[in-house]
Amino acid sequence: MAEKLLMRALAGETLPTPPAWMMRQAGRYLPEYKATRAKAGDFLSLCYNPDLAAEVTLQPIRRFGFDAAILFADILLIPDALGADLWFVTGEGPRLSTITGQGDFDALKPADAVHDHLSPVYETLKILSRELPSDVALIGFAGAPWTVATYMIAGRGTPDQAPAHALKDTNRPLFEALLERITEATIEYLSAQIDAGAEVVKLFDSWAGSLKGDDFRRYALEPAKRIIAELKARHPGVPVIAFPREAGDGYIGFARETGADCVALDNSVSAEWAVKNVQVDGCVQGNLAPGHMVTGGQPLIDEVRRIKAAFAGGPHIFNLGHGITPDADPENVTLMLETLRG
């Protein structure tokens, strides 16, 4: 493990060339992914088929030589395990049964339902821990409680998370009970991922930026702190990456307060700002704008060089500021890595 660049960066080492991987690196921009998904039949069937999920996780490693592989799964597998109805509409995204009243919440399963229901995910990790090259780190992940709750309350992704904010403001006990259930399930899920072979885990709070003031602390920072503390107690030495996307000034001190080993940054903050305000506390990850994977060219080269140079004084993992998009050109991924690695 000492030879894995990702693990060295997460341990606080400053490396001449940072390790690199991409959020959603196994995905719709790759023709080999599309072929495997077609074989699976639909998205959820792909997530729950260990052989095929492992295959799509390995595809970008074979093609690009990333320093880390991230488990192919979805943040909404936890609601599925808790008993919510979950399906995906082609071209539109996920749909779920909604949690809007006490009866909906009472129908959910207990947190430990993740153990049996998500066993295919753990099998995928076991396959990957055998199949990955010895220098490639294996990352597990889950959605953070607030972000998962926004989908469970609205029944779909929303531009401003308004249904979740409304429930929070009108029925705080129900809202907090739901967050508590998700938090407990997330601890069990990530712990089981580590048992199955994940060497690092990441907590995706994709909608953290819509929480303001005290709400950010209570519903983004505090759940992350609790999850990380419990994982560290169960699995000493396993690093955790936290991604409170679009947190702005909320990034400041987030690693210090939550115990995260690394904070992933979206591209709404500059690398130069993050060096002064976030990297002072340890490893940072990011934060190339995903649009460069579509447009490529000299602007991509210039941005990769700028970000690498800005973060060169401390521990850094090179990544995008959010997931790579389906319209990205794989050739631009190659160009990004070639530029980064000189």
- Residues labelled as active-site residues: 24, 28, 37, 74, 151
Of 41, 67, 69, 75, nearest in space to 55 by CA? 69
Which residue do the tokens 């994982």 mark? 231
Distance CA 122, CA 54 (A): 11
126-136 burial, b at 16+ Cβ within 10 Å, e below that, comes to ebbeeebeeeb
Burial status of residue 331 (CB atoms within 10 A of its CB: 0-12, 13-18, 19 or more): exposed
Which residue do the tokens 């953290």 mark? 208
Distance CA 103, CA 128 (A): 40
In this structure, which amino acid lies at residue 341? R
Distance CA 278, CA 268 (A): 14
